[in-house]
Amino acid sequence: MRSTLRNGAALGLLSLALGACGAPGTGAPEPLSSDQPRPLVAAPDEPARQAPNLPPGLETQAPLDDPLVDLASVDPRLVLHLSYGTEDNFVREVLYPEPRALLRASAAARLVEVLDRLEPRGLGLLVYDAYRPHAVQRRMWELLPNPDYVADPARGSRHNRGMAVDVGLCDASGRPLEMPTAHDAFEPAAAADAALPWGPARRNRDLLIEAMAASGFRVLRSEWWHFDAEGWEERALLDVPIEAVPAQGGPQAP
Ligand SMILES: [Zn+2]
């Protein structure tokens, strides 16, 4: 697997080096061919792990315009069941150093609206995942380099923009309600429009999608739990560590 990744990284770096108008290439472990007078890529002794697939426009500073905020601070009604803060996820590894859920402030405000809409019905929201640093995306890809399951870090995941959230429904005491599948279940019933038999799972799924849509969240067709806040395409991909964002939300200190 390592050599496959290295070869792929070398090809990616060639285009990056060409696209960067002579900027020094970094990180690939070996020259592309033996007859090049000057290698486009780094010296062979640089380790392969220094050749990440970085998408264009990736930002490493906490954004100031629509900052990342801590959902637990924004609204304590949210029930956090963060799959990647534990080993209870499809890669069986703790991926977040702190089990905190962050979102851009604009998306978090929409989520509060959804809670306000659900609360009178005795319902609430469970959060499975929210903002995901790009470094975590790269780690997931390292563990499972299959675009059917993990977004290629070369393009980034919608979660890297801080505008996507994975949620389910719970009752007023925070108990999960029956949904079509578990979070991150890769099966046909996970589709947002899967033809489920009438019953609680289908009713809860449809109610969730309707409540989220009323506040500008669009469901991902292949995952009933994944929602993107309106305007997500305009927000940059981020590689800001979760621990760099203060618990009270707001921008990172300089
Ligand atoms: Zn998602």
Q: What is the pLDDT along the chain (254 residues), one digit of tens a residue?
A: 333 333 333 333 333 322 223 223 333 333 333 344 443 444 444 444 445 678 989 999 998 989 999 999 999 999 999 988 878 788 888 888 788 999 999 999 999 999 999 999 999 999 999 999 999 999 999 999 999 889 999 999 999 999 999 999 999 999 999 999 999 898 999 999 999 999 999 999 999 999 999 999 999 999 999 999 999 999 999 999 999 998 874 444 44
The reply to whether 115 and 46 lie within a common domain is no
The reply to whether 76 and 103 lie within a common domain is yes
Output the CA 93–ligand 1 centroid distance in Å: 17
Total structural domains within the chain: 2
Output the CA 10–ligand 1 centroid distance in Å: 29
The reply to whether 180 and 114 lie within a common domain is yes
Please write down the long-range contacts of 38-41, taking CB distance under 8 Å and 24 or more positions apart. 40/13, 40/14, 41/10, 41/13, 41/14, 41/17
99 falls within a domain:
yes
The reply to whether 22 and 113 lie within a common domain is no
Output the CA 227–ligand 1 centroid distance in Å: 7
Output the CA 228–ligand 1 centroid distance in Å: 8
Q: For residues 38 and 41, what is the distance between their CA atoms, to the nearest angstrom? A: 9
Output the CA 31–ligand 1 centroid distance in Å: 37
Output the CA 165–ligand 1 centroid distance in Å: 6
Output the CA 44–ligand 1 centroid distance in Å: 37
The reply to whether 79 and 29 lie within a common domain is no
The reply to whether 127 and 181 lie within a common domain is yes
Output the CA 237–ligand 1 centroid distance in Å: 15
146 falls within a domain:
yes
The reply to whether 163 and 217 lie within a common domain is yes
Residue 179 contacts residue 243 (beta carbons within 8 Å): no
pLDDT at 87: 81
What is the value of pTM for the model shown? 0.77
Q: For residues 169 and 98, what is the distance between their CA atoms, to the nearest angstrom? A: 23
pLDDT at 22: 26
Output the CA 220–ligand 1 centroid distance in Å: 8
Cα–Cα distances in Å, from 165 out to 1, 34, 42, 220?
31, 47, 38, 11
162 falls within a domain:
yes
Output the CA 129–ligand 1 centroid distance in Å: 7
**Residue range(s) defining the domain that contains residue 18:** 2-50
59 falls within a domain:
no
